[in-house]
Amino acid sequence: MFLLLVDFILYSVLCGFLSYYVFLSYTICILSITSYLYSDGRWKEAETLHVQVTNFQKTALGEEYPDTLTSINNLAVIFERQGKYEAAELLNKETLRLRKKVHGKEHPDTLISMNNLAGLFDSQGKYEAAEPLYKETL
């Protein structure tokens, strides 16, 4: 049901039926549902919905839009919690690359992405990869 709603919302925005601000409001609501599913341990459902919303945000807002970058980052967290470390690493690296491009190396969001990637490496025992990232965030 949620996926049909997301499809409808994106279609409506792209066709000009909904304003950008209405799209953002719906997106926030859907991401709140995703957050609930995640906190309820329903990670697969959260992942499915979050992937769709993130892809729609990339289409409607662009991949460099701050809300899109936050969604990509949060999707990486969902993947990590499910043990999908390769997928989480790819998304963490993508978010870090884009945030450096958009905000620069010193921006708090960039540093959060860097710390998230370091934490992912750390949780897998990849300490040599994690250490320089941790140091750079200080």
Residues contacting 4, CB < 8 A, separation 6+: none
Residues 70, 55, single domain; the answer is no
**Residue 9 pLDDT greater than 80, yes or no:** no
DSSP state of 41: T
Residues 80, 125, single domain; the answer is yes
Residues 106, 130, single domain; the answer is yes
How many C-beta atoms surround the C-beta of residue 15 within 10 A? 8
Nearest to 137 by CA among 34, 122, 125: 122
CATH classification at residue 72: 1.25.40.10
Residues 68, 10, single domain; the answer is no
Residues 92, 54, single domain; the answer is no
Residues 107, 74, single domain; the answer is yes
Residues 91, 52, single domain; the answer is no
Residues 53 and 31: their CA atoms lie apart, in Å, by 8
Residues 76, 136, single domain; the answer is yes
Residues 128, 67, single domain; the answer is yes
Token pair 């995703």 in the structure block, residue:
34
Q: Tell me the average pLDDT across 9-15.
A: 64
Residue 134: band (very low, low, confident or very high) from pLDDT cuts 50, 70, 90: very high
**Residue 26 pLDDT greater than 60, yes or no:** yes
Residues 35, 87, single domain; the answer is no
Q: For residue range 40-96, what is the model confidence (pLDDT) as tens digits?
A: 888 888 888 888 888 888 888 899 999 899 999 989 998 998 999 999 999 999 999
Q: For residue range 81-117, what is the model confidence (pLDDT) as tens digits?
A: 899 999 999 999 999 999 999 999 999 999 999 999 9
As for how many domains the chain has, the answer is 2
Task: Give the range of the structural domain holding residue 120, as residue numbers without chain letter.
Answer: 63-138
